[in-house]
């Protein structure tokens, strides 16, 4: 009997198939480290690309023993020649380094062959941030739709108010249950990256929109299959991330400004507006659920750039 992932080749030599170890690594990320399905799929897509590259190079199924630094570098170089963005190459490098480190730590590989792998640093791009006037206009347009009494419109207003008011990730918003939202304390309990929970405050306008949604819209949207999900989709199930993306992308499509037009733009906007208003950087870090303060510091650059632009347009000696 062979160990999981092992097969025999040649004169009875046991080898470990690369594809099988990628699948076990994905299980480790999901079950052992508690990473989200989306993150695990991203790792898997990168490593599946590596497996395909290795098998094409070798002309046979790849084995763990085939991995070496030259193979990994050639794989990244192929991506460069294919025109992949530097951010994609950096992510691929990080994925394979995590994989080879796990192979080493679990004694599936004698040394960590990916430890020295490097990729181009991703381009530094500031996130898209809306002005306060744009946010006000966006919410006002949603409020007009909600005032027609349409349940979906009431839900959409509550979704956008909470995304901006609490600076949530879209996965955190759609994952919230009825018991997670406290309209008296103006807080929502969310589960962020790494299955870490935190309690986030929101403001009175968001509370009002959420209250009207709960009272006037959710009972209409709910069906016998509806569970404890706070936000309900068109078919009665939990509101999905794609639906939220479509909603926000449609709202931002006609607004000036570059960068992605998804729900994360509202999270970026909330963080920047907090810092513009004098909030402490560490308080913003805690609100956003960032593990590293360095991740939050990008918003200080956004605030500085906005201040510089305002200075240049308004100061007579600029």
Domain containing residue 192: CATH number = 1.10.443.10
Q: Is 1 domain-assigned? A: no
**List 92, 267, 268, 273, catalytic entry:** 267
Give the E-state strand segments of the chain in sequence order: 6-9, 13-16, 181-182, 187-191, 197-201
290 is catalytic: yes
Are 141 and 88 in a shared domain? no
Q: What is the pLDDT of residue 195?
A: 84
264 is catalytic: yes
Q: Is 219 domain-assigned? A: yes
Are 14 and 155 in a shared domain? no
* Torsion angle of the four alpha carbons 98, 99, 100, 104, in this order, in degrees rounded to the nearest 10: 90
Q: What is the pLDDT of residue 95?
A: 94
In angstroms, rounded to a whole number, what is the distance separating the alpha carbons of residues 173 and 177? Answer: 9
In angstroms, rounded to a whole number, what is the distance separating the alpha carbons of residues 32 and 293? Answer: 25
Q: Is 123 domain-assigned? A: no
Q: What is the pLDDT of residue 302?
A: 58
3-state SS assignment for residue 190: strand
Are 233 and 308 in a shared domain? yes
56 is catalytic: no
Q: What is the DSSP letter of 66?
A: G
**List 145, 193, 212, 306, catalytic entry:** 193
Q: Is 279 domain-assigned? A: yes
CATH number of the domain bearing residue 23: 1.10.150
Helix 151-166 and helix 132-146, axial crossing angle in degrees, nearest 10: 160
Q: What is the pLDDT of residue 2?
A: 34
Q: Is 74 domain-assigned? A: yes
DSSP string, 124-171: --PPP---HHHHHHHHHHHHHHHTTT-HHHHHHHHHHHHHHHHT--HH
38 is catalytic: no
Q: What is the pLDDT of residue 277?
A: 85
Tell me the whole-structure pTM to 2 decimals: 0.61
| 191, two tokens | 């589960």
Are 286 and 148 in a shared domain? yes
Are 211 and 308 in a shared domain? yes
CB atoms within 10 A of CB 175: 20
Are 290 and 199 in a shared domain? yes
**List 169, 238, 268, 273, catalytic entry:** 169
Give the E-state strand segments of 215-310 in sequence order: none
Range of the domain at 138: 132-314
Return per-residue pLDDT of the chain as tens, 318 residues.
333 444 433 333 234 788 999 999 999 999 989 888 889 999 999 999 999 999 998 899 999 999 999 999 999 989 888 888 888 899 999 999 999 999 999 999 899 999 999 876 655 566 778 999 999 999 999 999 999 999 999 999 999 999 999 999 999 999 999 999 999 999 999 998 888 899 999 999 999 999 999 999 999 999 998 999 999 999 999 999 999 999 999 999 888 766 667 898 999 999 889 888 888 888 888 888 888 887 777 777 655 555 455 546 555 554
91 is catalytic: no
Q: Is 266 domain-assigned? A: yes
Domain boundary among 105, 122, 143: 105
Which of 267, 235, 271 minimizes the C-alpha distance to 252? 267
Q: What is the pLDDT of residue 147?
A: 96
Domain tally, the chain: 2
**List 128, 154, 268, 290, catalytic entry:** 290
| 74, two tokens | 């050639």
Q: What is the pLDDT of residue 313?
A: 58
CB atoms within 10 A of CB 133: 8
């Amino acid at each position: 009997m062979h160990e999981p992932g092992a097969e025999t080749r040649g004169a009875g030599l046991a080898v470990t198939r690369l594809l099988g170890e990628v699948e076990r690594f994905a299980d480790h990320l999901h079950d052992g480290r508690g990473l989200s399905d989306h993150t695990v799929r991203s790792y898997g897509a990168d490593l599946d690309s590596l497996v395909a590259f290795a098998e094409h190079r070798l002309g046979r199924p790849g084995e763990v023993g085939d991995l070496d630094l030259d193979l990994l570098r050639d794989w990244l170089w192929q991506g460069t020649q294919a025109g992949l963005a530097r951010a994609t190459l950096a992510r691929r490098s990080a994925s394979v380094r995590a994989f080879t480190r796990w192979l080493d730590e679990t004694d599936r590989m004698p040394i960590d062959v990916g430890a020295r792998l490097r990729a181009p640093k991703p381009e530094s791009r500031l996130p898209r941030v809306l002005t306060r006037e744009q946010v006000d206009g966006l919410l006002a347009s949603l409020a007009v739709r909600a005032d027609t009494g349409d349940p979906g419109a009431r839900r959409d207003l509550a979704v956008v108010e909470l995304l901006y008011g609490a600076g949530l990730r879209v996965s955190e918003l759609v994952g919230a249950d009825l018991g997670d939202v406290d309209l008296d304390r103006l807080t929502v309990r969310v589960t962020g990256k790494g299955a870490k929970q935190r309690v986030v405050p929101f403001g009175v306008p968001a509370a009002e929109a959420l209250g009207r949604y709960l009272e006037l819209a959710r009972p209409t949207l709910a069906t016998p299959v509806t569970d404890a999900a706070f936000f309900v989709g068109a078919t009665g199930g939990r509101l999905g991330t794609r639906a939220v993306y479509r909603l926000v992308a449609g709202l931002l499509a006609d607004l000036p400004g570059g960068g992605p037009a998804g729900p994360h733009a509202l999270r970026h906007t909330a963080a920047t507006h907090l810092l513009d208003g004098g909030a402490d950087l560490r308080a913003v870090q805690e609100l956003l659920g960032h593990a590293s303060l360095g991740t939050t510091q990008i918003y200080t650059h956004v605030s500085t750039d906005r201040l510089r632009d305002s200075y240049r347009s308004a100061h007579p000696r600029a």
